[in-house]
Amino acid sequence: MSMTDLLPLLRGLSWTIALTAGAFLIGAVLGVPLLAARQSRLLPLRVLAMVVIQIVRAVPPILWLFIIFFGLGMGFMPISPFNAALIGLGLIAAANMAEIYRGAVASIHHGQWEASTALDLGRWSTFRDIVAPQAFRVALPSAASYLIGLMKETAVASAIGVAELAYQGNQLSQLTYRGLEVFALVGLFYVLLSLPIAGLSRMADGYLQARVAR
């Protein structure tokens, strides 16, 4: 395969990276207030957060993209395919990250909350200084696994015209009639993107465990 054929795939790779990073960042940030609502002492707020998380996770990602791009985008306000995909995948990531955070917080022994109460530490101080650092280490492997899954999930954005890696691969295969070769290369790109994420996750987890051991 010539370099001319590779250029569209490299452009698609850049869009895949941008979409993955943007959606994960949105999810990582919005997952925090969603977790706070999920853990709230106010029953209506807690129930609302639970319902939102369940609905967002239950609906297939491609359907969310159709709703945002074809529904909201064409019916109410214009929106580009990339932004529609970014919003849709970002909201899905927020729901999933909130659940990852919740599992990590739940793994912290309840006695640490009780000790903080005995020391008259506020709820926010307890979470920020005691619970959050430990929960971050617990959540890291799951968050890295989800990031890899999210990267592969960005392929659904091709359905609304985002020129990411899968879209460019499909276009190139139709032009060259070399589908096996093209999609094998696309798959290799996904693998090459996944390996650094997994490796960095293991390194960070090992570093954090070493710090805890000290």
User: Which stretches within 59-178 are classed as H helix?
Assistant: 61-66, 73-75, 81-106, 110-118, 123-126, 132-153, 165-176
Tell me how long the chain is: 214
What the block records as the tokens of 129 is: 């200084």
Please tell me the predicted confidence (pLDDT) of residue 1: 61
Task: Map out the domains of the chain with their CATH numbers.
Answer: 3-213 (1.10.3720.10)
- DSSP letter at 39? T
Q: Return the C-alpha torsion angle 13, 85, 29, 34, nearest 10.
A: -140
Instruction: Return the pLDDT at 2.
Output: 67
Instruction: Confirm if 145 and 166 have CB atoms less than 8 A apart.
Output: no
- Rounded Cα distance between 131 and 125, Å, is 9
Which helix or strand (DSSP H or E) is residue 78 part of? none
Q: pLDDT at position 192, please?
A: 93
Query: For residue 97, what are the CA distances in angstroms to 8, 25, 57, 103?
Result: 32, 10, 11, 10
Query: In this structure, are residues 190 and 151 in contact, taking their beta carbons and an 8 Å threshold?
Result: yes
pLDDT of residue 184: 93
Which pLDDT does position 69 carry in this prediction? 94
pLDDT in 10s for each residue of the chain, 214 residues: 667 778 989 999 999 999 999 999 999 999 999 998 998 889 999 999 999 999 999 999 999 999 999 998 887 888 999 999 999 999 999 999 999 999 988 887 777 666 666 666 666 676 666 777 777 888 888 999 999 999 999 999 999 999 999 999 999 999 888 889 999 999 999 999 999 988 888 887 777 666 654 5
pLDDT in the model for residue 15: 96
Q: CB under 8 Å to 73, separation ≥6 — which residues?
A: 79, 84
Instruction: Give every CB contact of residue 141 below 8 A, 6+ residues apart in sequence.
Output: 201, 205
Q: What is the pLDDT, as a whole number, of residue 178? A: 86
b/e per residue 38-72 (b: at least 16 CB within 10 A): bbeeeeeeeeebeebbeebeeeebbebbbebbeee
Contact yes or no for 116/126 (Cβ under 8 A): yes
For residue 136, the model assigns a pLDDT of 83
